[in-house]
Chain A
Amino acid sequence: MEIRQFNDLGYTLTTVKTDKFKTNLVSFSFQSEINRENVTKRSLIPYVLRSSSEKYPTKKDLNTYLESLYGASLSASVEKRGKAHNIKFYLSLANEKFIGNREPLLEEGVELLKEVVLNPLVTEGAFKEQVVETEKRLLQEYIESLYDDKTSYALQKLIENMCQDEQFSINTTGYITDLAGINGTALYEAYQEMWKQDRLAISVVGDIDHEVVYDIFKKHFTLSSQTEKIEIVDYEEKQLTEVNVVEEAQDVAQGKLNIGYRTHTRVTDEDYLTLLVFNGMFGGYAHSKLFMNVREKASLCYYCASRLDNYKGLMYVYSGIEPKNYDQAIEIIDQQLTDMINGNFTNQELELSKKSLINSKLESLDQASGMLAHEVLNELICNPLTIDQWIEIVKSISREQIQEVAKKIEKDTIFFLTGKEVTADEV
């Protein structure tokens, strides 16, 4: 694997050469700070662009063209990373050397992406109303469908409650209540704003030649200036007094218990890797304290795990339990954190977590996304780490460091989605 970066095209172009894949992946990412006022518009933009351009005015036209490029796939999406809201496009193209005597597909792919992001179908300063209306409907139906996936619904409600007055509580995909006020003109303005304000990063991963890729982009896609980097890591904190407990009853077969914590440790902090090792021991793996105690010993659940948001400094514990076992589950989970703080863990537990973490890191490098993720991390921290350095630091973490990072963790909010009938029985 070999990584190069080019910065003279008006954006950052990262090229990753690897022969692990039978496809080439091109991604565009437009990044700006999330804000409540334009988040819904920004959530519509990638889908409107994906569905209608001058050359491919309908989805059917574009999808037909993608099929003719040997099943190329183009996806549009939005994501939230800390304070950043990213509009993303991923194009996956077959590497022509596996298809026989086919002309290179990459250049056609770049031209297609250019068409999608730069030549939308616009009349009199507005996107086509019919296209906008369809995408508004699709976004609304998507947001509504989140309610039906109870596991992710409960997690979303936890974050909403825990970060109520913080920027972090802004929904990645926007708000249904905003939709009525958005038309083709307003959305086109937001699109122009995106080109003015956002920082664009492009990456290409595959069995490529760096210079050839650079030349293709130079030929087709040069911008006048690059926007400044924005702060991604979210340092906003709040004063905690007591644990906020929120309960909601729905007609569910199983209670969904979600607990939110402040770790006060972020990706840019010295003890960031220590927190990752801590999380592995606490609830990250099948040998973790949560899995062993809540599931294996007490048989309370099928899953009980913890995960981190390292841009914001949060930890979530989530489990599916019988509503009547709520108190017991909370008690066992609390005890595990106390044990971590007090150093009630074996050296083996520490070793298992380190080994698992290193293994996951190395495995991730077999995927295009994992290769890029390490680069993204390095851009955020002061002293970029090679993979070997990263591994050495993880190996060196001590029991005391784990206890220190555990002590910083504060329980903030519990959100419990419980069943309707059972609650009535309990009264």
Chain B
Amino acid sequence: MKCKEFPQLQEKIYFEELENGLQVYIIPKKGFNKTYATFTTKYGSIDNQFIPLNQKQMKLVPDGIAHFLEHKLFEKENYDVFEKFSLNSASANAFTSFTRTAYLFSCTSDLKENLTTLIDFVQDPYFTEETVEKEKGIIAQEIKMYDDNPDFKAYFGILNNLFNEHPVKIDIAGTVESIQEITAEMLYECFHTFYHPSNMLLFVIGDFEVEEIMDLVRQNQVAKDYEKAQPIQRQYPNESESVAIKERSIETEVQTAKVYVGVKDVVVNRNGKDLLKADLTTEIIFDLIFGSSSQYHEEILNKGLINDSFSYETTFEPSFGFSIVGGDTRYPEELAVSLRQKLEDIPTMSFDEQEFKRIKNKKMGRFLSALNSVEFIANQFTQYAFNGIDLFSILEVLEEVTMDDLNEMAKSYFIPERISTFKLLPKK
């Protein structure tokens, strides 16, 4: 077991890669009541083309299958997973994102039993045609719940504008139609391919004896037979340089219009520190130009183009990346034109050194604030670790970002062909 210290943050992290390839990370948090654990596979909605374990041919699976698998792992032949956690005073949950599926629990007692339950239920699937069929009704209602959510609609609206081929544009839960094709056999195939310990990460954070917990995990894994780890062959389509749709609007049951303008990243296979630095640099640019202390923000607020729903975000992963800016508006046309113009102007802007320093300080403070949450630490740490980044190195990398980095990113990222506009409008 290795240990790394971050004196400035007063945090310590213990790490071990087990023989079967499982990565285990533990962070002690003295004085906390709660222990939080996540067991995550590097397998999300975008992994819909791959060579199944011990096969040779690339295979395309139905949209929404990773999320469906997440639901069905909770089903067991002879016990109820939620009940088992509750009996040991824990509460369990799970989620599927573009790139990960995470299973988690929090508890204030019986940590060893709960951790064993987590690892065992995730590593022991039980799928039958009957239970798979029954789940389709439940997931169909989950999909329809999102269909009634305008923020969600607008989010996938802009992603579908930006991306031609990449599966990031597909709803994580799939569609009511696509999930009908899913069978128990397919679920097993995905499970055996992506739930091998070498593709997974276990993260535990709370107040407990580190060595005892690491030992429990070691013994639990040694007792299980796994084939030797093989690299998983995944395939993502080639994404073209320009956006799929430059501009599109949809009319729906809303009173307030929404406008999102997005930028597509076309650099693939960034990893580790490069990925983190590109992400932080882009976020700083957005803070400088669209943030609540910017000239532009004040201007469009006073013009009545935006309200408090205005926001922006950047997501960079090795196989895709994008930024989105926008929100609710009374003047969709004007806001859309203004935001696009602003984004297109970025390559020729000059940034102010003082403002840059202030934003860096702000990001530092906000990062500290985020570290108050053990959920944030566990989830963010795992996401970063899968991309070869150490969460606690953020402050270090943030420190390294220079004005030159900003200027370079401004010129290479904000290209007119990679910018798209999506509007969600009230029905006439």
Which of A28-36, A335-343, A361-369 lines the interface with chain B? A361-369
Known A21-B372, A63-B293; contact A362-B148, beta-carbon cutoff 8 A: no
Residues of B88-120 at the interface with A, using a CB-CB cut-off of 8 Å, are: 88-92, 106-109
Nearest Cβ on chain A to B124's Cβ, whole angstroms: 19
Residues of B356-409 at the interface with A, using a CB-CB cut-off of 8 Å, are: 358-359, 361-366, 368-369, 371-372, 374
Docked-complex contact B10 and A98, CB < 8 angstroms = yes
| Set A67, A302, A358, A360: member contacting B145, Cβ < 8 A | A302
Nearest Cβ on chain B to A79's Cβ, whole angstroms: 16
Docked-complex contact B31 and A144, CB < 8 angstroms = no
Nearest Cβ on chain B to A153's Cβ, whole angstroms: 10
Docked-complex contact B144 and A320, CB < 8 angstroms = yes
Which of B191-199, B209-217, B223-231, B250-258 lines the interface with chain A? B250-258
| Set B107, B141, B364, B369: member contacting A359, Cβ < 8 A | B107
Closest to A320 in B: B145
Docked-complex contact B307 and A142, CB < 8 angstroms = yes
CB contacts (< 8 Å) of A60 on chain B: these are 292-295, 297-298
Nearest Cβ on chain A to B424's Cβ, whole angstroms: 9
Closest to B92 in A: A286
Interface core residue of B82, B150, B291 (most chain A CB under 10 Å): B82
Kindly state the separation between the CA atoms of A137 and B358 in the bound complex, as whole angstroms.
30
- Residue interface mask B298-311, A partner, CB < 8 A = 1: 10011010011100
User: Is B328 close to A, CB under 8 A?
Assistant: yes
Known A70-B362, A94-B369, A141-B307; contact A252-B253, beta-carbon cutoff 8 A: yes
User: Is B5 close to A, CB under 8 A?
Assistant: no
Nearest Cβ on chain A to B420's Cβ, whole angstroms: 23
Docked-complex contact A285 and B302, CB < 8 angstroms = no
| Set B83, B86, B256, B362: member contacting A148, Cβ < 8 A | B256
User: Is B139 close to A, CB under 8 A?
Assistant: yes
User: Is B134 close to A, CB under 8 A?
Assistant: yes
- Residue interface mask B247-278, A partner, CB < 8 A = 1: 00000111110000000000000000000000
Residues of A378-399 at the interface with B, using a CB-CB cut-off of 8 Å, are: none
Docked-complex contact A22 and B255, CB < 8 angstroms = no
User: Is A4 close to B, CB under 8 A?
Assistant: no
Docked-complex contact A22 and B150, CB < 8 angstroms = no
Closest to B309 in A: A145
Residues of A5-20 at the interface with B, using a CB-CB cut-off of 8 Å, are: 18-20
User: Is A300 close to B, CB under 8 A?
Assistant: yes
- Residue interface mask A291-315, B partner, CB < 8 A = 1: 0000100011111000000000000
Closest to B363 in A: A71
Docked-complex contact A71 and B364, CB < 8 angstroms = yes
| Set A21, A63, A93, A253: member contacting B147, Cβ < 8 A | A253
Residues of A147-170 at the interface with B, using a CB-CB cut-off of 8 Å, are: 147-151
Known A23-B369, A300-B137; contact A286-B362, beta-carbon cutoff 8 A: no
| Set A63, A100, A286: member contacting B292, Cβ < 8 A | A63
CB contacts (< 8 Å) of B358 on chain A: these are 64, 67-68
Kindly state the separation between the CA atoms of A180 and B298 in the bound complex, as whole angstroms.
24
Nearest Cβ on chain B to A373's Cβ, whole angstroms: 14
CB contacts (< 8 Å) of B295 on chain A: these are 60
A-side interface residues, number (CB < 8 Å): 69
Docked-complex contact A352 and B307, CB < 8 angstroms = no
- Residue interface mask A120-159, B partner, CB < 8 A = 1: 0000000000000010011001101101111100000000
Residues of A78-94 at the interface with B, using a CB-CB cut-off of 8 Å, are: 92-94
| Set B80, B92, B255, B302: member contacting A134, Cβ < 8 A | B302
Kindly state the separation between the CA atoms of A68 and B354 in the bound complex, as whole angstroms.
10
Kindly state the separation between the CA atoms of A252 and B253 in the bound complex, as whole angstroms.
7
Closest to A355 in B: B89
Nearest Cβ on chain A to B201's Cβ, whole angstroms: 23
Residues of A307-356 at the interface with B, using a CB-CB cut-off of 8 Å, are: 320-322, 348, 351-352, 355-356
Known A134-B302, A253-B144, A254-B141; contact A92-B374, beta-carbon cutoff 8 A: no
User: Is A411 close to B, CB under 8 A?
Assistant: no
User: Is B330 close to A, CB under 8 A?
Assistant: yes
User: Is B142 close to A, CB under 8 A?
Assistant: yes
User: Is B34 close to A, CB under 8 A?
Assistant: yes
CB contacts (< 8 Å) of B149 on chain A: these are 149-150
CB contacts (< 8 Å) of B150 on chain A: these are 148-149
Kindly state the separation between the CA atoms of A348 and B80 in the bound complex, as whole angstroms.
13
Nearest Cβ on chain A to B81's Cβ, whole angstroms: 9
User: Is A215 close to B, CB under 8 A?
Assistant: no
Docked-complex contact A359 and B90, CB < 8 angstroms = yes
CB contacts (< 8 Å) of A151 on chain B: these are 145, 148
CB contacts (< 8 Å) of A58 on chain B: these are 298
User: Is A264 close to B, CB under 8 A?
Assistant: no
Kindly state the separation between the CA atoms of A23 and B7 in the bound complex, as whole angstroms.
17
User: Is A59 close to B, CB under 8 A?
Assistant: yes
| Set B135, B304, B365, B427: member contacting A94, Cβ < 8 A | B365
CB contacts (< 8 Å) of B361 on chain A: these are 67-68, 70-71
Docked-complex contact B368 and A64, CB < 8 angstroms = no
CB contacts (< 8 Å) of B328 on chain A: these are 141, 145
| Set B90, B308, B365: member contacting A72, Cβ < 8 A | B365
Nearest Cβ on chain B to A391's Cβ, whole angstroms: 11
CB contacts (< 8 Å) of B255 on chain A: these are 144-145, 147-148
Kindly state the separation between the CA atoms of A70 and B358 in the bound complex, as whole angstroms.
8
User: Is A99 close to B, CB under 8 A?
Assistant: yes
User: Is A250 close to B, CB under 8 A?
Assistant: yes
| Set B108, B301, B308: member contacting A362, Cβ < 8 A | B108
Docked-complex contact B145 and A356, CB < 8 angstroms = no
Kindly state the separation between the CA atoms of A157 and B44 in the bound complex, as whole angstroms.
37
Nearest Cβ on chain B to A164's Cβ, whole angstroms: 23
CB contacts (< 8 Å) of A256 on chain B: these are 148
Interface core residue of A18, A137, A148, A351 (most chain B CB under 10 Å): A148
| Set A70, A148, A303, A322: member contacting B254, Cβ < 8 A | A148
22 A-B pairs with C-beta separation under 8 A: A18-B31, A20-B372, A23-B365, A23-B368, A60-B297, A67-B358, A70-B361, A70-B365, A70-B368, A93-B365, A94-B369, A144-B255, A145-B256, A150-B148, A150-B149, A151-B145, A252-B253, A253-B147, A254-B141, A359-B107, A359-B109, A363-B33
A residues with CB within 8 A of B:
18-23, 58-60, 63-64, 66-73, 92-95, 98-100, 134, 137-138, 141-142, 144-145, 147-151, 250-254, 256, 285-287, 295, 299-303, 320-322, 348, 351-352, 355-356, 358-360, 362-363, 365-367
Given contacts A98-B9, A142-B307, A359-B91, 18 further A-B pairs with CB under 8 A are A20-B31, A20-B32, A58-B298, A63-B291, A63-B293, A71-B364, A71-B365, A134-B301, A134-B302, A150-B148, A251-B427, A254-B148, A300-B137, A301-B138, A320-B148, A359-B109, A362-B108, A363-B108
